[in-house]
Structure 1
Amino acid sequence: MPHFRISHFLVFVLASLLVTIFMFMKRGPFGSKWKVDTQREVFKDMQLEQIRRKAIINSVCRRNNSQKSENMKLEMLERIFVEDNFQLLYCEVPKVGCSNWRRLLIVLGGHVKVPPDSLTGNDIHSSQALRSLSSYSEDEIRVRLQNYTKFLFVREPFTRLVSCYRDKMERPNPIYHKAIGRVILREFRPNADKSLLATGDNVTFSEFAQFVIQHNNFKDRHWFPVENICYPCDINYDFIGKIEHISVEAPWFLESVGVPLSYSRHKATNDPRTDVALTKHFVQQLSHEQRKALYKFYQRDYEIFNYSRPEL
């Protein structure tokens, strides 16, 4: 019996203590203020990280004698899309969540009255709603470059290349199979089956990589280096995001520029995402020489955006 009473007493004491702690946290310095302090720390950390990323870009550009220019060539602005309502300039990098950013910008511009994630791939890629910065007059371009928030998101280069291969070559994609796949098979597969030469299907990752290596001036934006799509040595971007941390960085960025919508990762297929493990699986199919050549092709992206050099 004494043991029974003591146990109940201990339960009562513990319960009271938990209630007290909960109430104190709810109204005291460990409750709402703790949340505010955490948000402030995240905000401070993100600001410092942006300063660090920009400093690295400037350092790499200076080291390679790539000084920022005041005179923008129109080809540098072709992949920068304009959103006037919130004064945003988005440099689109394929295979880095660009479809989701298109969805969001189309809705922000008031072109449709539906949630961003309800827009299909056909909706966004056939839409003429987004204007390229290159389509404006010189004065309009200058005003936007000086006053709008310029941002882009990047991705580990080998992972981006694997994602591109899976999307354009491994999955059914008649346009790319016929335009690129047939060229790859004719050039890199001796005695290729005639039926495959007609369709361009069944290109291996090694064959695709060899095409990228040997035709490094083939400016397909889906696998071309980000440096030659967004020109970070010429354009002072206000925000450089990384898709590897997009669940934190996209919401922070959108909140910082006053956008009331959230970034949602719309996915049209059930295939697993191209992650580190999947990238390793594909890259291991390449020869040492191919990996070295691909690294050379993407080396500036690795340096400018501070990605670790891959194992070669």
Structure 2
Amino acid sequence: MRFNNPYWRAIRRCLFIFVAISLLPLALVYMVRLDQAYRLKGYEYVNESHLPVLPEDAVHTLAPIDVERVEKRMERRRKLLQEKCTEFGLDVVGNDTWHKPNAWEFLVNKKYHIIWCNVFKAGSSSWMYNFNVLAGYSPEFLQRTKEVFLTLARERYPRLSIEKLREAQNDSITFMIARHPFERLLSAYRDKMVFAIPHSYHDKLGRRIVRKYRSKNLDMNSPRYPTFPEFVRWLLVQIKHGSVQIDMHFVSSTMFCTPCLINFDVIMKFDTLDEDQLYLINKTGLSRVIAPEWRNAGKGKNTQELLQSFYSKLTPKELQGLYQYYKYDFELFNYSATSYFNLVTENGT
């Protein structure tokens, strides 16, 4: 055919070269803009792995902590945990949920040798983001995706048996984040009940709680979601019926992570999280890979006024019921409930 003669082949080659040269500036602009976008988010790419990492100027901000002082803090927390576990007999393996090691909720990153037990409403949003970055998801994808971060994480971090978890711990750092039980519970209530996504599981659960626990005498202006006392009454019934699985957002941290039966190298606390997580990032050598950041910070940090306004509505019996369930969280992680009991006593509720 005439299009296969040398003349037409030369024409096609020239046309190809012309198109390639024309598109090159557009490709360069795209690459520059993409690079700028990541730098604005605090990330840049490593050519070999395409793993998002921190730029050098951000790395320096991770260094100024007193590592020795934080290490001593961690030693005190581990020592107290061990003493309390022995005191309450929680370090003895048994068949109930308090004495059975629970490896189900751990995320194990073998590449970076870091293991996390994800206690919900205790810095979990921030570290779920970090673990997804460590799993290879790009920050750009995580910014735009509509997928639940936990769902994404479980695609890369399969659940392990206790034997496999302990094997992974041999060359890894295992950590968890503790939070005052009553702060954590209020944060979970507000997130999952007050701000429940319409038609979600927790929205439907809230409506069931309202139907069952709301007095007929309440005025028409009562919220569609359960009030805090209504929610607490429901939760105490779930606790009383031990056969019912407590929602992972409300469950005791001690039951969830079984820290008396699984060794933890680092115990961070929500109230010292800024410094604790810098210590962990430095200790794991991940200062060029992940950065500490607060996600859901607006809902997560409760002021004392907010705590008082909610817990003052409970009766001493209801507060005592909550304390008995979260007692091990208070004891193992050195938290106090005294101010809360004083609050309901002063209010005469």
The yes-or-no answer on 1:264 pairing with 2:293 is: yes
Q: Secondary structure of 2:281's match?
A: helix
Cα distance between partner residues in 2 of 1:214 and 1:123 = 29
Q: Distance in 2 between matches of 1:130 and 1:147?
A: 19
Give the CA deviation at 1:213. Answer: 1.4
Q: 1:233 to 1:147 in 2, by over 3 A?
A: same
Q: Distance in 1 between matches of 2:146 and 2:266?
A: 26
- The answer for unaligned runs of 5 or more in structure 1 is 1-37
CA drift at 1:147? 2.5
Greater displacement, 88-97 / 125-134: 125-134
What is the Cα deviation at residue 175 of structure 1?
A: 2.2
Residue 130 to residue 100, structure 1, CA distance change in 2 (3 Å): farther
1:211 aligns with 234
Shift of 1:222: 0.2
1:92-149 per-position Cα deviation (integer Å, ceiling 9, x unaligned): 0011121211111111122x23269736673513314342442x594x3332133221
Output the CA distance in 2 between the equivalents of 1:70 and 1:144.
23
Q: Is contact 1:225-1:301 (8 Å) kept?
A: yes
1:282 maps to 2:310: yes
In structure 2, the residue matched to 1:88 is 114
Distance in 2 of aligned mates of 1:303 and 1:106: 32
Q: Are positions 1:53 and 2:77 aligned together?
A: yes
CA distance 1:150–1:203, change in 2 (3 Å): same
Distance 1:234 1:75 in 2: 6
Tell me if 1:62 matches 2:90: no
Residue 48 of structure 1 and its aligned partner are, at CA, apart by 0.8
The reply to whether residue 44 of structure 1 matches residue 73 of structure 2 is no
Q: Among the aligned pairs, what percent are the same residue?
A: 24
Q: Classify the secondary structure of the residue corresponding to 2:338.
A: coil
8 Å contact from structure 1 (residues 185, 192) kept in 2: no
Instruction: Give the 3 Å change call, closer, same or farther, for CA 176–281 of structure 1 in structure 2.
Output: farther
> Gaps spanning 5+ residues in structure 2: where?
1-62, 342-349
Partner of 2:128: 102
Checking the alignment, whether the CA contact within 8 Å between 2:113 and 2:172 is kept in structure 1 is: yes
How high is the TM-score relative to the length of structure 2?
A: 0.68
What are the equivalent positions in structure 2 for 1:88-237 lying under 5 Å apart?
A: 88-110=114-136, 112-114=137-139, 118=143, 122-127=147-152, 128-134=154-160, 138=163, 140-173=164-197, 174-191=199-216, 201-216=224-239, 217=242, 218-237=245-264
Distance 2:193 2:121 in 1: 14
Whole-angstrom distance in 2 between the partners of 1:215 and 1:241: 29
